[in-house]
Amino acid sequence: MKLLTLNFLTCAIKTCKTSEASFPLHPRDAELEIVETDLNLPFLKNILPRLMWEEIRTIASELGLPDLPTTAPTREDLVENNAEVQASLQNQTAESAEPAVEEIPSQTAKDLHRILLETCIKDGKLVCGNCAHEYKVMEGVANFLLPGHLV
Amino acid sequence: MATTTYDANGEEQQRIYEQTHVHAVYEQIASHFSSTRYKPWPIVEKFLQSQKDGSIGADIGCGNGKYLAVNPRVFIVGSDRSTNLAQIAKQHNNPHTAIVADTLALPHPASVFDFAISIAVVHHLSTPARRVEAVGAILGLLRPSSERDGDSGGRALIYVWALEQKDSRRGWDEGHEQDVMVPWVLKEKREKAKKGRRKEEGVGEEEEAKPKEDKTFLRYYHLYRKGELEGDIAEAGGEVVESGYEKDNWWAIAVRKR
């Protein structure tokens, strides 16, 4: 399960959802794997405003991954600041939305892609910070089914 | 057409009923079911393709994940009640994700999704109250509209099986019983055993004992009559934007009411 998913997950128990402590879920005993995928720069740029950066930093640190910058990258940070690209961007007319030259992902973009889309929890648990309920992750799939008494 | 045997006594009983007559069946037929479900329905495909790049979506009851494959420019969290189906859906993980979850206990924060789809799922809930609750759970995921930002809010596309389908091979139509048990015949053909799939072992044993027999599973369905889906959406606090009938199914696109 990609780490990006954790940005959109919380505890399945209804009464937890109103508590801030239920987001994000905390990985525990996690076995990570890297599943390589093609970097999609427009996708990364578009998804950027949806990221709960502080929470993603917390998750990364709980997983023992390298520290993420304190502030979220901007769209501009994701593009290589290449002279040729810059020149071509300046030459564009206002109505052309797409750059004439293909943008090159920066190291920041590559790092973000690595952590959000390629770093996956293969096995382990996700724990609610409010009720301490543990959800298992097996073979890369997190299971949120609740035992009968919690439904 | 088989008749139902369910008894509408209490939530707990309905939960167990659905566990036996829906969830357990899909868990066992997952691999065969998946091999018959690969072509996206056109309205669903169009809905998914119409989402803005970088949108966040939920596929509630994603089955084998066939709709996860449609648009790689959005991010979809697909969930299914069946672990075996979610494992199959996992293959479409670029860039999406598949998880195991119950529609009535979704592990998502409220109001953050740009869109949601729930295709052929809500009709598996066995009481009117549970179906409305399911629709409400799907709508609750959506971003509410905001007049200030000129944002019309997130949209959900819901599909359910129609009662009115007299030309289908099932032949149901207006006036027929709406709560039915529908057979799924698992052909006696040795499927390649997949690693670590519990259900394969169970079926395998059965097959060895009776080598040439097909196995029939019955799934519970509530067949929707005309207008009923729109009614459920209204009751769940939603507003229908567009709705229609396509190939034996009723569908509706809904937003949260302001």
Q: How many domains does chain B have?
A: 2
Within 8 A of B97 by CB-CB distance, chain A residues are: 1-2, 4-5
Could you tell me if B30 and B142 lie in one domain?
yes
Prediction ipTM score: 0.89
Helix (H, G, I), strand (E, B) or coil at A48: helix
Could you tell me if B165 and B188 lie in one domain?
no
Residue B179 forms part of a structural domain: no
Could you tell me if B67 and B161 lie in one domain?
yes
A3-150, which class in CATH? mainly beta
Among candidate residues A121, A114, A112, A119, the one with its CA nearest the CA of residue A44: A112
Residue B39 sits in a domain whose CATH number is 3.40.50.150
Could you tell me if B198 and B129 lie in one domain?
no
Which of A14-28, A109-123, A129-143, B17-31 has the weakest average pLDDT? B17-31
Within 8 A of B108 by CB-CB distance, chain A residues are: 8-10
Q: Residue A61: pLDDT above 80?
A: yes
Pick from B52, B75, B107: CB nearest A4: B75
Mean pLDDT, residues A113-128 taken together: 97
CA A150 to chain centre: 29
Mean pLDDT, residues A1-22 taken together: 96
Could you tell me if B150 and B208 lie in one domain?
no
* Cα(A104)–Cα(B149) distance, integer angstroms: 32
Within 8 A of B83 by CB-CB distance, chain A residues are: 141, 143
pLDDT score recorded for residue A91: 61
Helix (H) or strand (E) holding B208: helix B198-209
Whether B105 and A23 lie within 8 Å, measured CB to CB? no
Among candidate residues B133, B123, B132, B134, the one with its CA nearest the CA of residue B223: B123
Residue B176 forms part of a structural domain: no
Residue B81 forms part of a structural domain: yes
Mean pLDDT, residues B174-191 taken together: 83
Residue B175 forms part of a structural domain: no
Q: Which of residues 71-90 of B touch A (CB under 8 A)?
A: 72-73, 75, 77, 79, 81, 83, 86-87, 90
The answer to pTM > 0.90 is: no
CA A85 to chain centre: 27
Domain chopping of chain A, boundaries = 3-150
Domain extent, residue B210, equals 184-219
Could you tell me if B86 and B188 lie in one domain?
no
Could you tell me if B32 and B63 lie in one domain?
yes
Within 8 A of A38 by CB-CB distance, chain B residues are: 94
Could you tell me if B108 and B205 lie in one domain?
no
Candidates B77, B97, B104, B130, partner chain A, best to mutate (most A CBs within 10 A): B97
Could you tell me if B44 and B132 lie in one domain?
yes
